[in-house]
Chain A
Amino acid sequence: MFLSTALIAFTLATRAESPTKPFEFKDGDRIVWLGNTLVEREQRYGYWETALIASNPDKKITVRNLGWSGDTVHGEARGRFDFNSADKCFKQIVEPTLELKPTVIFICYGTNESFEGKDGLPKFEKGLEKLLDALKPVNARIVLFSPLPVEPNDTPGSIKAAEARNADLKLYADSIAAIAKKRDLRYADLFTPLSNTFAAWKKHRASNPHLPDSERFLTDNTVHLTRHGYGITLLDFLKSLGYDLDVRAADQTGPLRDAVIAKNEQFFNKWRPQNETYLFGFRKQEQGRNAKEIAEFDPFIEKLETEIDTLRKALKK
């Protein structure tokens, strides 16, 4: 089952009235999704990606998730034992993206950078502009997402801490919006709708004292969406792109989501294989011969893409 009846009720009750102008997808679009933990974990849960495909059932859209925990616009988290210079880290965002020949690029940064507060804004903006310039060669349509707000929990001091963090996060969200405007790119605001959803969930929690532990909050530590959190916020995600989805229809997308997750697992093992040091790094003379296996992932990914396609087309009817 996709979402419980109670959750559907919640989602319907809090759904947005009028989505903004839809970001236009085309048949055959290839989305590369860049960002930090928010993006990386999405591939395990698949709610947002599935919702995106389900809300465009007449188009073939393929998604490649290149999210990396702890990452920033500078690619700080993408260093390896072989290379950890700023320049090489940055290239680890750009090169894999260009290689995938995307027609659309989703960029979700700002959360980790925002710990630097106002003083860190110039560095962040410079980094984001540099990234956008570096991605130009593929001429993709780019969507800049805002960071997520923080969801206060019930530990002492959490509300105050969340206020301070949200003030900083808002600064970065506004900065991203300004850059999007300057460059005439689509800005997708997650900060505002998720702030509203977190507030609505607080009321929901107050009126449902017996919620299971895993559903009391939409994040498990104020910052990261839980499995359940991704499910609840899928409409917010769609809305940020100007889309809407009948949640009852969304409830029928279980098999599609399973296929999306399975595809993501194979792709993850291909693009972030374990033992990279031996396959491609400085010890490749020892195991580099096994790097040939990496290409062997492709047929499995293709097969799952076909399955996604079939399930997507079935939704259209």
Chain B
Amino acid sequence: MRHIILALLLAVVPSIAFGQGNAKVPDPDPELERKTFIVAPGFEVNLWAADPLLAKPIQMNWDPQGRLWVATSEHYPQIKPGEKANDKIIILEDTKGEGKADKTTIFADGLLIPTGIAPGDGGAYVANSTEIVHLSASKPGEKADKRRVVLSGFGTEDTHHIIHTFRWGPDCHLYFNQSIYIHSHIETPTGVKRLNAGGIWRFNPDKTQLDIFARGWVNTWGHAFDKYGQSFATDGANGEGINHVVIGGYYPTAQGPHTQRILHGLNPGSPKHCGLEIISGRHFPDDWQGDCITNDFRGHRVCRFKLSDDGSSYASREMTEVIKSNHPAFRPIDVKMGPDGALYIADWYNPIIQHGEVDFRDPRRDKTHGRIWRVTAKGRDLVKPPKLVGATVPELLEQLKAPEQWTRDQAKRVLKEMGQEKVLPELQKWISTVEDERHLLEAVWILEALENGEGRLKLSMLDVKNPNVLAAVIRMLSPHNRGITLAEKNWATYASDDHPRARLEAIRALGGLKSPQAVDAAMKALDSPMDRTLDYALWLTVRELEPYWMPEFQAGKLTFGGDAKKLAFALNAVGNKDTVKPVLTLIDGGKIPKENLHGLYVLLTQIGGPEELNRVLTYAIGKEIPNAKRDELVLAVEEGVRLRKVARPRDISVLDQFTKQAGTTGRAAIRLIGHWRIEERRNDLMATLALSTVDPEVKLSPEDCAAMLQAIALFGDAKAKSYLADWCSYNSKMAKVPAQGALLQRLSIAALAGLDMPTAAEKAADFLAAAKAEPELLDVYAAFLSRKAGVPALAKALAGKKLNPDVAKLGLQAVRGSTLPAPELVAALTKAGDLAAARKPPTPDEVKALVAEAMKADPARGELIFRRKELQCMACHGIGGAGGQVGPDMTSIGASAQPDYLVESLLLPSKAIKEGYHAMRVVTADDKVYLGVKIRESDGLLVLRTAEDKEVAIPVKDIVERPQAKQSLMPEGLTDQLTKQEFADLAAFLSQLGKVGTPYAPSKARIVRRWQVIDPTPENQSLFRRGRVSAAAEPDTTFLWSPTYSLVSGDLPLASLPKFSVWRDTADLTVLRFNLDVTTAGAAKLKLNSVAGLAVFLGASPVEPKAETLLDLKTGVQTVTVIIDRSKRTEDLRIELDDVKDSPARVAIVGGK
């Protein structure tokens, strides 16, 4: 590997030159850019400000005077040695009221990549690399001459991750975000606040009070509050659209003590977004109010999402874009409503957006341009900008009634800065006059801001009727905010309020209450209907409160009112050793609702000792347990034993019953014999294996044999070694059942590799020298490639051996598939197989030639290549959320990445890797090598997602080596099998993906893209023959389904789908299904492109297929099965999900693999 990296480094210099040669630096004329905009009907866009008034805007925010403050950076991405930091904060003004900026003031310079700006407190708060500084000018209107460090200690590991997205909240606190690589350690008067990953901070500058508001995300580049103060966020790398932010919640990539469960965005499968604003005010039409606007900066689009209530959270739906363009430098990155009620968009204007993937010094990086665009509704009046500065307190209070959130927020800023002495008396008067509860809410917020957490909001404000106002008031009263004490029984009332969002806020508020009674109050929520967000919130609160309630519970002082459901929830949430006894008592009490029982047994596998695990097995063997649940429990027992090294139970009679069973459970039980080293059963395994080679009647599947040999290997003693070594040198020709003998020989080599590497390597070398090239050999190679000592051992053993060239080639394939550096093994295989030298990294000229080919190639053919099963692209990459989740979603890759980068990534996947997709390699004490993307590390376990999309847990204490991973999970050489033309087509397809104006542009339509299809295997065939075809729609059947995906266009090509006829003379059929995730029940419809030849089932019930097929959906994941009579249909299938007017249903199409 080292020589490859070296070669890459050497290749860099010419490739920069090449990059320049291929540079696509567009004509910077703003009018040319504007002409590319396709604007939402009824709207128009005008240029509000452009270079030279500003360059490289990163963030913008308005002040109460209606001036736009913009943080700009020409140093980005990296300051040069000797340079003095000189980035700027500029102020843009439209002094003439002509709808465009005519004045620019440099407010501050001397800054280092300022990524956030919030005017306030007589100047502005600015993100300045490791610090937040407050800048102010001694003379109004002039340049800042005073600089105060407000907070310091923010990490700078990546300049597109450093603190960003400054926003004053409705409570006049400063919210700001940091991204995934950043490690921040901020000293405050109450201690050091540490956040070692992404998240949103909340800061009260008056008191230097800093808290983590929510955790996670890769690049939370958007954060906005709606009119009720609910928070929404967008992510510039994790494509889940709009995220509803629960206070203290953990989102993807979060670090902290409660990473076991995370919350997700509302639009999985979206492209990545930057900036976020919520539409409000009279200039925009009614049907735009409350909509979220964010930017698909890769795809050159300004996007709109419509939110609607969905239980305690929201559903989010993408609408027609505000702007879309194919201009390569149009990079909308921030969006804000303005004082005139129009929408303003900051355009970073740059053909290059990649941070790490493109050289910091690449000359194509634009340093001088930047635009602010203004979106207005045609034929609608603009709002007259309010006069706030210089207004009286009563005038400002009246502005809190304005329909424009801009005006309300800015009026609050002015009031806040006037101070409580001037404002409080007038505010008290004003509160007594307001009738609208929403106005009262503004008063609550300004009180919070003025009293600074010291005063007390009137508890009578909790009497409000509007549930959204109530939710906001509860948040302001919460200990997270104010540290005031509201009696627990009052909190209990709100935890069981009629409205789910009020319950959500109460549950989260209780998490900060630090008392044992708080958990009791929070549990009241379980008396009302729960939804996923409430379930999460309660889980988090119970865990946060554990130090306060667990001792009381153990002392018998806290009983959850004897309610088994509540106790089960609490114990499940905490799930540590302390809960074993109460869990057993709970199960023995027999009062647990059936649906909770399974969860408690799974919990026991995670925390229990030998006898508890035996209890789980005893429960699982019960006849009434469905197969899937039984499998889950037995595998969980095995995982518990593997991870926690739990010893064997005294009585193994239940295990004996399991080992006789077929399939997953049987094999897990067999492996448990090994994990537990049950000597009295080892001989049985050995006898059975021996018998299988002499008696053709003893039929063992390869999987069963593997499990038995693994079990024997797990004994780890001399007896196991010699036993496996004997099989390794077994002469299968001597066996009565030669195939079985050969199988055991091969499997034993793999099993021995975990016990005695030198011997296993020698045996393997002998075995390979005699072997024919069969795909099974990959498993033999894999056994060595998954262990640290395996590569050198096998390489050494192969010295002097001659291999069938195809056997050696399989070895090379295995090396590539393992993504492990194994240069010595590659050399040994090349020599033993007498192969030509291994592949070399492409030269810059080769890449250049390939890019040129791709520019001429056919993306439509490329799409078909991308979909080929054997290429495995879709096993790891999704498009529009459909497909594997191991690698980045490809939805807008073409709009963001340069073609040279795409070509290189196909050939050298590890050269440039998207953040969040770096593989980690760990070696455990037993010499095993694990490679995967880190999902979390908590409770002493490291969890990785492997290239096979499996989650693997590794006990941290077993890890002996954790070298820096510099590689992608994508193996090299995946595209080696393609012809030159095919490679060009594939690259052409990728470079078109997400580009506006091509058939591969992102779509807002809710199209079914991820399907499962029944393959015509003999097993499936015989299941149909025994039953009916429509049995496929029934739950709990044993059909084998494989994934298939729609084209980017949304069509599922019929020709590519497997078909079969049940009997010789019946018509060819194709059976498909997809899932809908229903969070609120109700009616929804499917729009079918045609109904010819279709039979549709919702669950097991037939539904009449129509162009608009109506579905009555219950909550939960629902399955729709489609049977196609191929004799009646040749047309491709396209199904779109749509709303039914006035239906409460909230439905999402399930994506993924």
Which chain A residues have a beta carbon within 8 Å of chain B's beta carbons? 36-37, 40-41, 44, 68-71, 76-77, 79-82, 84, 111-112, 115, 150, 155-156, 161, 165, 214, 220-224, 226-227, 262, 265-266, 269-270, 272-278, 281-290, 293-294, 296-297, 299-300
The residue in chain B whose Cβ has the minimal distance to the Cβ of A268 is B130
In the assembled complex, the Cα of A28 lies from the Cα of B454 at a distance in Å of 54
Asked whether A274 lies within 8 Å of B129 as measured between CB atoms, the reply is: yes
In the assembled complex, the Cα of A156 lies from the Cα of B965 at a distance in Å of 51
In the assembled complex, the Cα of A40 lies from the Cα of B357 at a distance in Å of 32
Query: Could you tell me the distance in whole angstroms from the C-beta of B82 to the nearest C-beta in chain A?
Result: 4
Does any Cβ of A come within 8 Å of B80's Cβ? yes
Does any Cβ of A come within 8 Å of B8's Cβ? yes
Asked whether A278 lies within 8 Å of B207 as measured between CB atoms, the reply is: no
CB neighbours of A77 from chain B (8 A): 153, 183, 185, 192, 194
Asked whether B356 lies within 8 Å of A283 as measured between CB atoms, the reply is: yes
In the assembled complex, the Cα of A33 lies from the Cα of B84 at a distance in Å of 23
In-complex Cβ contact of A69 among B162, B185, B190, B196 (8 A): B185
Query: Could you tell me the distance in whole angstroms from the C-beta of B359 to the nearest C-beta in chain A?
Result: 7
Interface residues of B in 132-169 (CB under 8 A from A): 146-150, 152-153, 155-159, 162
Asked whether B196 lies within 8 Å of A79 as measured between CB atoms, the reply is: yes
Q: A84-B196, A275-B360 are in contact. Are A300 and B81 (CB under 8 A)?
A: yes
The residue in chain A whose Cβ has the minimal distance to the Cβ of B113 is A274
CB neighbours of B357 from chain A (8 A): 286
The residue in chain B whose Cβ has the minimal distance to the Cβ of A277 is B157
Asked whether A290 lies within 8 Å of B360 as measured between CB atoms, the reply is: yes
CB neighbours of A296 from chain B (8 A): 81-82
Does any Cβ of A come within 8 Å of B36's Cβ? no
CB neighbours of B796 from chain A (8 A): none
**Chain B 161-205 interface mask (CB, 8 Å, partner A; 1/0):** 010000000000000000011011111111110101000000000
Q: A70-B186, A224-B187, A227-B148 are in contact. Are A293 and B157 (CB under 8 A)?
A: no
In-complex Cβ contact of B356 among A68, A71, A274, A287 (8 A): A287
CB neighbours of B188 from chain A (8 A): 221, 223
The residue in chain A whose Cβ has the minimal distance to the Cβ of B197 is A81
CB neighbours of A37 from chain B (8 A): 152-153, 187
CB neighbours of A82 from chain B (8 A): 964
Q: A80-B157, A297-B81 are in contact. Are A282 and B964 (CB under 8 A)?
A: yes
In the assembled complex, the Cα of A285 lies from the Cα of B360 at a distance in Å of 13
CB neighbours of A275 from chain B (8 A): 77-78, 156-159, 356, 360
Asked whether B81 lies within 8 Å of A69 as measured between CB atoms, the reply is: no
Does any Cβ of A come within 8 Å of B391's Cβ? no
Query: Could you tell me the distance in whole angstroms from the C-beta of B153 to the nearest C-beta in chain A?
Result: 3
CB neighbours of B194 from chain A (8 A): 70, 76-77
Asked whether A221 lies within 8 Å of B189 as measured between CB atoms, the reply is: yes
Asked whether B911 lies within 8 Å of A285 as measured between CB atoms, the reply is: yes
Q: A214-B148, A296-B81 are in contact. Are A276 and B918 (CB under 8 A)?
A: no
Q: A41-B152, A274-B113 are in contact. Are A285 and B8 (CB under 8 A)?
A: yes
Q: A112-B191, A222-B189 are in contact. Are A288 and B181 (CB under 8 A)?
A: no
CB neighbours of A165 from chain B (8 A): 189
In the assembled complex, the Cα of A222 lies from the Cα of B207 at a distance in Å of 10
In the assembled complex, the Cα of A99 lies from the Cα of B714 at a distance in Å of 47
CB neighbours of B183 from chain A (8 A): 77, 79-81, 84
Q: A44-B149, A274-B129 are in contact. Are A115 and B191 (CB under 8 A)?
A: yes
Does any Cβ of A come within 8 Å of B1047's Cβ? no
Which chain B residues have a beta carbon within 8 Å of chain A's beta carbons? 5, 8-9, 12, 77-82, 84-85, 112-113, 129-130, 146-150, 152-153, 155-159, 162, 180-181, 183-192, 194, 196, 207-208, 355-357, 359-361, 454, 910-913, 918, 964-966
The residue in chain B whose Cβ has the minimal distance to the Cβ of A281 is B157
Query: Could you tell me the distance in whole angstroms from the C-beta of B775 to the nearest C-beta in chain A?
Result: 32
The residue in chain B whose Cβ has the minimal distance to the Cβ of A38 is B187
Asked whether A265 lies within 8 Å of B78 as measured between CB atoms, the reply is: no
In-complex Cβ contact of B360 among A79, A161, A287, A297 (8 A): A287
The residue in chain B whose Cβ has the minimal distance to the Cβ of A81 is B181
In the assembled complex, the Cα of A297 lies from the Cα of B208 at a distance in Å of 35
Asked whether B78 lies within 8 Å of A290 as measured between CB atoms, the reply is: yes
Q: Select the residue from A80, A115, A274, A276 with max chain B CB neighbours within 10 A.
A: A274
Q: A156-B454, A275-B77, A285-B5 are in contact. Are A223 and B159 (CB under 8 A)?
A: no
Q: Select the residue from B82, B113, B207, B965 with max chain A CB neighbours within 10 A.
A: B82
CB neighbours of A276 from chain B (8 A): 156-157
Asked whether B156 lies within 8 Å of A272 as measured between CB atoms, the reply is: yes
Q: A44-B149, A266-B82, A296-B82 are in contact. Are A81 and B157 (CB under 8 A)?
A: yes
Q: A156-B454, A278-B356 are in contact. Are A289 and B12 (CB under 8 A)?
A: yes
The residue in chain A whose Cβ has the minimal distance to the Cβ of B963 is A282
Query: Could you tell me the distance in whole angstroms from the C-beta of B201 to the nearest C-beta in chain A?
Result: 14
In the assembled complex, the Cα of A255 lies from the Cα of B822 at a distance in Å of 58
Closest 8 CB pairs of A and B: A70-B185, A69-B153, A77-B185, A221-B208, A296-B81, A274-B156, A81-B181, A300-B82
Q: A275-B156, A276-B157, A286-B911 are in contact. Are A223 and B189 (CB under 8 A)?
A: yes
In the assembled complex, the Cα of A186 lies from the Cα of B82 at a distance in Å of 36
Query: Could you tell me the distance in whole angstroms from the C-beta of A307 to the nearest C-beta in chain B?
Result: 14
In the assembled complex, the Cα of A278 lies from the Cα of B80 at a distance in Å of 15
CB neighbours of A274 from chain B (8 A): 77-79, 112-113, 129, 156-159, 162
CB neighbours of A155 from chain B (8 A): 207
CB neighbours of B79 from chain A (8 A): 269, 274
Query: Could you tell me the distance in whole angstroms from the C-beta of B191 to the nearest C-beta in chain A?
Result: 4
Query: Could you tell me the distance in whole angstroms from the C-beta of A305 to the nearest C-beta in chain B?
Result: 14
Given A80-B157, A81-B180, 17 more A-B residue pairs with CB atoms under 8 Å apart are: A68-B153, A69-B186, A80-B155, A112-B192, A214-B146, A220-B150, A221-B208, A222-B189, A269-B79, A272-B130, A274-B158, A275-B159, A277-B181, A286-B913, A290-B359, A297-B82, A300-B81
Asked whether A111 lies within 8 Å of B157 as measured between CB atoms, the reply is: no
The residue in chain A whose Cβ has the minimal distance to the Cβ of B158 is A277
Asked whether A282 lies within 8 Å of B966 as measured between CB atoms, the reply is: yes
Query: Could you tell me the distance in whole angstroms from the C-beta of A41 to the nearest C-beta in chain B?
Result: 6
In the assembled complex, the Cα of A293 lies from the Cα of B784 at a distance in Å of 41
The residue in chain A whose Cβ has the minimal distance to the Cβ of B77 is A275
Query: Could you tell me the distance in whole angstroms from the C-beta of A294 to the nearest C-beta in chain B?
Result: 8
What are 30 of the A-B contact pairs (CB < 8 Å)?
A36-B187, A37-B187, A41-B149, A69-B185, A70-B184, A70-B185, A77-B185, A79-B183, A81-B181, A81-B183, A155-B207, A165-B189, A220-B149, A221-B207, A222-B189, A223-B187, A223-B188, A223-B189, A227-B148, A269-B81, A274-B79, A274-B129, A274-B158, A275-B156, A275-B356, A276-B157, A277-B356, A283-B356, A285-B966, A290-B361
Query: Could you tell me the distance in whole angstroms from the C-beta of B249 to the nearest C-beta in chain A?
Result: 22
CB neighbours of A221 from chain B (8 A): 188-189, 207-208
The residue in chain A whose Cβ has the minimal distance to the Cβ of B194 is A70
In-complex Cβ contact of B84 among A76, A156, A265, A283 (8 A): A265
Q: Select the residue from A70, A155, A296 with max chain B CB neighbours within 10 A.
A: A70
Asked whether B185 lies within 8 Å of A76 as measured between CB atoms, the reply is: yes
CB neighbours of B77 from chain A (8 A): 274-275
In the assembled complex, the Cα of A41 lies from the Cα of B147 at a distance in Å of 13
CB neighbours of B361 from chain A (8 A): 290
In-complex Cβ contact of B912 among A76, A286, A299 (8 A): A286
CB neighbours of A223 from chain B (8 A): 187-189, 208
The residue in chain B whose Cβ has the minimal distance to the Cβ of A266 is B82
Query: Could you tell me the distance in whole angstroms from the C-beta of A271 to the nearest C-beta in chain B?
Result: 12
CB neighbours of B9 from chain A (8 A): 288-289
In the assembled complex, the Cα of A18 lies from the Cα of B1020 at a distance in Å of 95
The residue in chain A whose Cβ has the minimal distance to the Cβ of B146 is A214
CB neighbours of A281 from chain B (8 A): 157, 964
CB neighbours of A36 from chain B (8 A): 187
Asked whether B966 lies within 8 Å of A69 as measured between CB atoms, the reply is: no
In the assembled complex, the Cα of A269 lies from the Cα of B86 at a distance in Å of 14
CB neighbours of B918 from chain A (8 A): 282-283
In the assembled complex, the Cα of A44 lies from the Cα of B112 at a distance in Å of 13
In the assembled complex, the Cα of A276 lies from the Cα of B146 at a distance in Å of 30
In the assembled complex, the Cα of A288 lies from the Cα of B5 at a distance in Å of 11
